[in-house]
Structure 1
């Protein structure tokens, strides 16, 4: 994509701002352990969401990786007779707010540097908005973001471009002036559909080979964003 002025950066959360397995691997193992009646039951739930209980890691093609908490609940529900979907979603959302948060680089320093360049910042995640806000608060960077959008914020979930366009609309910025940075094909496809610059990072489960054909650039992690902006004349 030809270089052009960038006025905002929209971050995915898990696998981008925070390490995916350190966050959701711990969440999945704790939830399965809490809900399972025995080892066989635990293994069945783990298989349903594409999760390895031994390594506490998701399979690269797990539907949970780029999905919403509600989608994870739908996969688990057949293994939890007597439970209902709204109650399970609420339980998983509540547990998600307290997961470990491991960032690939010091977030305050990175985001502060981007703000110093005059960039507006946002989060667009397929997690719940309340969880995203709680995570940003715990990481001490909530004040850095102009908007935080979750799958339940009223604009749908990625890969639809609607939540990305809602961010641009809220800030009065042309989508072409926004970098969407994420770790999944959902992020890249949403960015392309929204007309945004699509930058992928390798801090999530997806590989370079998967991401590269769908991205304008692929970085090791978000720490490479400032240099990439400078090199590309953004």
Structure 2
């Protein structure tokens, strides 16, 4: 295979992966539904080899489960599965913050994180916060976490954080949009932003244990948002992916 053909194959694999992931997380592919390679080819318009790789990647992410007779099935998740994924992300991000603090970060390297913190401050000061502002917060929050993780200067750790963040509902902003319609929305954002502020201060002052503890506590806000989203079933249209969640009765 030529280099150009290899690049095209990777591009098609990513395209198929993103298209199928979107269908799963939007609820268009339901838990327990079977997906064959041929069906995925029809859905994505991508040839069989890249589709096969995309399906395997989605299995690695935990969204699909291989069926012994062939093909894959959309997985469902318990609340405990999701809480464990959130806790795992918090543990890894806590380690990233500790590495950044203990290894030392220059003022210049810390500046993009501080700028992102200031942008988030402007958003969370709004009261009430519009759905559009929540949407902007999702993007800025993802950037804040990415910048913080980069300050760890640990490629293996960043790779593992990326892997766990790809698990269903485990990313830092997984429940932000579902949270936006809740009465507690502004209070939770203020708490989260205070965590952001404290971890930046801890890194700047080289307080590793403090930085780690704050980021682990910060991840637990996502667990709180999960419980609120489940309790307030009237706002599920903001997070169709909750269709993947098994009820406690199952």
Per the shorter chain, which TM-score range?
under 0.3
Structure ranking higher in helix proportion: 2
Structure ranking higher in strand proportion: 1
The structure whose Rg is larger is 2
TM-score, normalised with respect to structure 1 = 0.27
TM-score, normalised with respect to structure 2 = 0.26
